[in-house]
Structure 1
Amino acid sequence: MIGSGIIKDIRARSPHYWSDWTEEALKGRQALTRITAASIYIFFASAVPAIAFGQQLKKYTKDDMGIVHTLAATGITGCMQALIGGQPLLIVGVAEPIVIIYHFLYEYADTHNIPFVPWSGWVCVWASIFLVLLALGNAANFIEKFTRFSGEIFGLAIAILFLQQSIKGLVEEFTEYDAVSGAWSTLNGVFGLLLAFIYISSSRALGGARKWKVGNSAIRAMLADYGPAIMIVVVSALSFSLKGNGDVPQRMKVKAPVDSYWLKHGVYVADDMAKIETADILAAMVPGLVISVLFYFDHSVSSMLSQQHEFNVKKPSAYHYDLLLISAMTIICGMLGLPPVNGVLPQAPLHTRSLCSKIKRKGAKDAESLEHKPEQASLVCHETRISNLVQSVLCLICMLVGDKFLNNVPTSVIWAFFTFMSLESLPGNQLFDRINIIASDKKRRKQFLNTHHALYLESVQFSKIVQFTLIQVVLLLGIWAITVWTGLIGISFPLLIMALVPFRLYVLPRYFTETELNDLDSSEVEELPAGIHNPALAGNGKTGSFAAEDSDSDSAQSVLDDGTEGYRTMGFKKTLTEDEIKKRFSKLEKASNNSL
């Protein structure tokens, strides 16, 4: 039945609407503390990428759109999602794929002398129409067909594009600096590289602060959660240490809100849209279709990941209704001259995670990480609309006062943030993990089994793992090449990502068994504890399996590296035997008794 999914979602979610506002807020201090912390955390997780994408969009559209637009779009639509959205845990914002698409749109509009902003408004109108049709057709029922196989390729493609933009931006620090002296341009580039290196390395280090032994858990958690934002402030302050030219390094140029073209003229975009010729309006249908396909799977997958059962979310989902709402957001953004938004990763699941508290079981010790801990089953998620609304309002405030501090941020730090996002998207991507395993030394492959590892490493033959991975790599490189090197045809990359779904459903089963595909393309990360559990692997037989035979051909230097420590005061390590351990502690016990 047409629209049955939307009706079902409204009936399921409407009884919970008021409890989304009041239930968690009235639970007491612990819940309020968690909601407040989540609001601040997700604000930084949303605002920093929005600023980075705004800088990228400003470059791509030659100032027709920029940071004000991305922050405004994120804030306005975030408020809509919090106030009338079906799933309040879902975070919406401007994502990298839409920035890439808008780059293609600008090139097309510029080539054909079409006013970019009003024409992009028509693109959003068409995208909204297609999204309405998808929502009414209950298309969200089929999003489960978008499996890990497609998601890993999409995620790694975005990571490569992040890294590519970062490298391109840092290289241009040497050439696009407006200076009389070429020496200052070179210094701007070199100093920019130094600042970028400091930002990336320190942000990555702070990201692992939860595992540190220094400091208490609250400080470590704060550094891990807010590290990237903290380091933007720190590195920006450090950039003022260079004396001699106040324009080095090159910094962001964000206009004050009162001078913003969008705040003055954004309300007139709808009027300008009426001046677009009919042929150009019809031409906007093609990118509109592309955006609708992108939002269909990206938005639905983001929503799905924000309410995984591991988070212990109790209230029902609203995939169909939220898809309808994103169509409304798309047309509103288009008519206001803003880039459209959709559910964003990793912000959506990070928001849910930040709202989770752990109920301690009797006798359980405190743990900062839920990974491989039995306490994971004792989570409670504070499902509320408050945190989403607060972070959205903060994004709007950032838009209004952002020029006060953003103009002090070096552009090289923004490009470094793209590298940071690229590197942060790699952990958990099994395609990247398998590439790493395949590229490893055969003599060392068994070391991957000495820690918690994926089930498929023991259940699937290594040759099949290689075949599956190579197929993904070839498809990944093909999509990346089409996106980067084919000009305006590159705008079709969301269609190529969507084409991976039938490829997975109908082509891969011809080359892999159902069991192999279930393990290699599992919706959940199935892991085994450390050690070898498959008898075929433990025997080191010639089974064509994952583990290669051990070799005693390691060089003496490798052996010494493992058995020594220190540099100037080198010492050799010695592992005590069981008898030696007993003797040592027996002596300690006797000495302790004698002292009494």
Structure 2
Amino acid sequence: MNLNSLHNTKHSLLEYPIDADADVKHGHSCRFRSRIYLQGWSRRIGSRYHGKLPEDSAGTQVVEDPHFPRHSQRCSPRAPYYWSDWIDAWDYRVIPATVYMYFANILPALAFSLDMFTKTNMQYGVNEVLLASVLGAVVFSIIACQPLVIVGVTGPITVFNYTVYDIVTPLGTNYLAFMCWIGLWAVLLHWVLAVTNSCNWLKYVTRFPCDIFGFYVAFIYLQKGIQVLERFGDDAPFYLSLSVALLVFAIAYICGELGSAALFRHPVRIFLKDYGTPLTVIFFTGFVHLGRMKSVELERLPTTRPFFPTADRPWLVELWDIEVREAFLALPFAILLTVLFWFDHNVSSLIAQGTEFPLRKPAGFHWDIFLLGLTTGVAGILGLPFPNGLIPQAPFHTESLCVTVVELDTDENNTDAKGHHIYKRTHVVEQRVSNLAQGLLTLGTATGPLLIVLHLIPQAVLAGLFFIMGYQALEANGITQKLLYLLRDKNLTPTNHPLGHIQRRSALWAFIIVELVGFGATFAITQTIAAVGFPIFILALIPVRALVMPRFFTAHELSILDAPTASPFTMESVGGTYALPPLAMRTRKVVVTACGVLAESTENGKSKERLAEEGKNESPITAGG
């Protein structure tokens, strides 16, 4: 049975079991996924199988898509969906997602540029940060396996950059040349990780290390905001800057809360949620010029000539202007950078494809790590900050592309919301255009007229941005949610609360204490000259969770206190989820129509879309980047 014969069949039902023993016996691969969607005018064709397909009881086979040979599918499981990633962009959700992600990406980038401009003696500035964001957006939107992941300059890489500056500059080393060699070494290390399938270890990454990392980044944001304000001294500029920063935080927070409240109509709430923060920045940029405030000199965002480096240098870094021993000294720093990027970027990808999102297209982690190495090397040669996956921007991007419908809540267990209307995600507009478009808008921001506008932004407004980003990351973090549960009045706590199923309350306290110790160790080391070593602390949390925690907590307790970061559908590309069988080892039922595989279900009769819907209440934001 081939694809041509399917066109002569209106509907047929093909049911077959897939398990490890059968596949080993017949020499079959366990990685099969094929689906063809007919949605309006858009036809999407895809196949993810890597090898000979299994036969049903009648001996019928479903052949792989002939347009994509097996070797390309092994290299990139997303390859069969490439053209549909562009065709499916013909959807209204792409427009607000593009605008929203442009502001969600550029505003933190401006704040990070101010931080690096100050702490690296103008080696990095607005132009470098904007172009690094453009580099990541263009490369990952066009040729990455996971185009929903937003790539740019993050908080952890900011800490890494100025810590390296503090270490090597007193030694008389050319800083940008040293960073270039770090990037070149990192290229090789990333490529080694990619070809050795290191991303298969992601099966051991659960919410435990992600929550700790998110908690750490949230406090880094709050610390950055305080550091911006403390530069102004104790006179009028300080008090005005403090007032503006707190007002930016308050207004942005109110807009976010109104977005999920019951006030106003749905379009108004969505507008406030999507555009409240950028409009707040615009308003307070002009607000400081009203009345007697205009006589107070406030520090502005430093900018330079468009498309020129901030420092007086050419774009190509003189990587030869460094001693041989210094070039090899960059290798240990490159190892630390690679560890950070392997964790940070992959976690961004996992959370952007979390269980709460009804995704239909496969993930591909190995190829994206290869691409990340490429962009790291290019950024080093050009003297740009190294870009990688952004949290929370990446899951925000997926969330903004969700198509929702209003339904009546019929959950018998949720007595508070029963009878109320809820928003249910039906699908995600999975495409590449919104990521590419926000990158091109960022490139346009680097032009002369817009740089003049950016120069008008007071640094106090950027401090307020740090505060709101830090608060939002803390509010949605799993550690915060557990702490709030422990502080709640037992009489007012719902009986069906998930944490209420833990018999030992001491187990909950112990789990939180371990998380706080992990956060404290990571945050403490970043306050010292040894801050470049903090990725090792983050990476060490993975074996702690996999090997140590099961010795002190029961499997039932860990199933409640911790959870996989992404859905089994997403994790299938890295061999499944820790403590869960791979998705391909379950019995599937595939409905084949004249257009191909239309739907499939797992052994218990629940489709992947249904499994994703069941996880819709899990927060996608566990970290901030």
Q: Normalised by the size of structure 1, how large is the TM-score?
A: 0.78
Q: Structure 2 residue aligned with 1:111, among 129, 152, 170?
A: 170
Equivalent position of 2:242 in the other structure: 193
Contact 1:293 1:495 in 2 (8 A): yes
| CA drift at 1:505 | 1.6
More helix by share: 1
Any idea what SS the aligned residue of 1:467 has?
A: helix
- Per-residue Cα deviation, 1:496-555 (whole angstroms, up to 9, x for no partner): 1101111112222221112111211122799xxxxxxxxxxxxxxxxxxxxxxxxxxxxx
* 1:524–1:224 Cα change, 3 Å: same
Equivalent position of 1:288 in the other structure: 334
Q: Distance in 2 between matches of 1:207 and 1:352?
A: 17
| CA drift at 1:374 | 9.0
Q: Structure 2 residue aligned with 1:164, among 219, 223, 246?
A: 223
Contact 1:358 1:375 in 2 (8 A): no
Any idea what SS the aligned residue of 1:449 has?
A: coil
Q: Structure 2 residue aligned with 1:477, among 520, 540, 552?
A: 520
- Per-residue Cα deviation, 1:14-35 (whole angstroms, up to 9, x for no partner): 222112112342xxxxx2x211
Q: Distance in 1 between matches of 2:538 and 2:122?
A: 30
Matches within 5 A, 1:4-403: 8=73, 10-25=75-90, 31=91, 33-174=92-233, 186-243=235-292, 246=295, 248-257=297-306, 260-261=309-310, 265-269=313-317, 272-359=318-405, 379-401=426-448, 402-403=450-451
Sequence identity percentage:
28
Equivalent position of 1:447 in the other structure: 492
Alignment of 1:520 onto 2:579: no
Equivalent position of 1:581 in the other structure: none
- Per-residue Cα deviation, 1:168-217 (whole angstroms, up to 9, x for no partner): 2212222xxxxxxxxxx600000111101111111100111224454332
* 1:115–1:209 Cα change, 3 Å: same
Q: Distance in 1 between matches of 2:476 and 2:409?
A: 31
Contact 1:88 1:384 in 2 (8 A): yes
Amino acid at match of 2:164: L
- Structure with higher Rg: it is 1
Amino acid at match of 2:338: S
Q: Distance in 2 between matches of 1:71 and 1:87?
A: 21
Contact 1:460 1:519 in 2 (8 A): no
More strand by share: 2
Ranked by relative contact order (alpha carbons within 8 Å, sequence separation 6 or more), the top structure is 2
Contact 2:408 2:421 in 1 (8 A): no
* 1:199–1:362 Cα change, 3 Å: closer
Equivalent position of 2:483 in the other structure: 435
| CA drift at 1:93 | 0.6
Amino acid at match of 1:140: C
Amino acid at match of 2:336: V
Alignment of 1:511 onto 2:552: yes
Equivalent position of 2:47 in the other structure: none
* 1:99–1:9 Cα change, 3 Å: farther
Q: Distance in 1 between matches of 2:206 and 2:259?
A: 31
Amino acid at match of 1:445: K
| CA drift at 1:221 | 1.0
Amino acid at match of 1:430: G
Contact 2:127 2:307 in 1 (8 A): no
Q: Normalised by the size of structure 2, how large is the TM-score?
A: 0.74
After alignment, is 203-212 or 391-400 more displaced?
203-212
Q: Distance in 2 between matches of 1:525 and 1:134?
A: 21
Amino acid at match of 1:268: L
| CA drift at 1:344 | 0.7
Any idea what SS the aligned residue of 2:288 has?
A: helix
- Per-residue Cα deviation, 1:441-500 (whole angstroms, up to 9, x for no partner): 7xx2332337x73x123334211111111121122212211221x31x221001111011
Amino acid at match of 2:152: G
* Structure 1 unaligned regions, length at least 5: 26-30, 175-184, 365-370, 527-596
Amino acid at match of 1:482: I
Contact 1:6 1:320 in 2 (8 A): no
Contact 2:252 2:280 in 1 (8 A): yes
Q: Distance in 2 between matches of 1:332 and 1:281?
A: 17
* 1:117–1:426 Cα change, 3 Å: same
Contact 1:73 1:340 in 2 (8 A): yes
Q: Distance in 2 between matches of 1:474 and 1:328?
A: 35
Contact 2:236 2:296 in 1 (8 A): no
Q: Distance in 2 between matches of 1:187 and 1:239?
A: 13
* 1:132–1:216 Cα change, 3 Å: same
| CA drift at 1:158 | 1.0
* 1:250–1:480 Cα change, 3 Å: same
After alignment, is 345-354 or 93-102 more displaced?
345-354
- Per-residue Cα deviation, 1:27-61 (whole angstroms, up to 9, x for no partner): xxxx2x21111111111111111111111111111
Equivalent position of 2:470 in the other structure: 422
* 1:43–1:518 Cα change, 3 Å: same
Q: Distance in 2 between matches of 1:194 and 1:6?
A: 59
Any idea what SS the aligned residue of 2:344 has?
A: helix
Amino acid at match of 1:219: V
Q: Distance in 1 between matches of 2:94 and 2:168?
A: 44
| CA drift at 1:437 | 3.6
Equivalent position of 1:551 in the other structure: none
Contact 1:173 1:412 in 2 (8 A): no
Contact 1:310 1:376 in 2 (8 A): no
- Per-residue Cα deviation, 1:85-112 (whole angstroms, up to 9, x for no partner): 1111111011000000001111112111
Amino acid at match of 1:82: S
RMSD across aligned C-alpha pairs, in angstroms? 2.6
Amino acid at match of 2:173: I
* 1:448–1:254 Cα change, 3 Å: farther
Contact 2:89 2:433 in 1 (8 A): no
Q: Distance in 1 between matches of 2:246 and 2:88?
A: 45
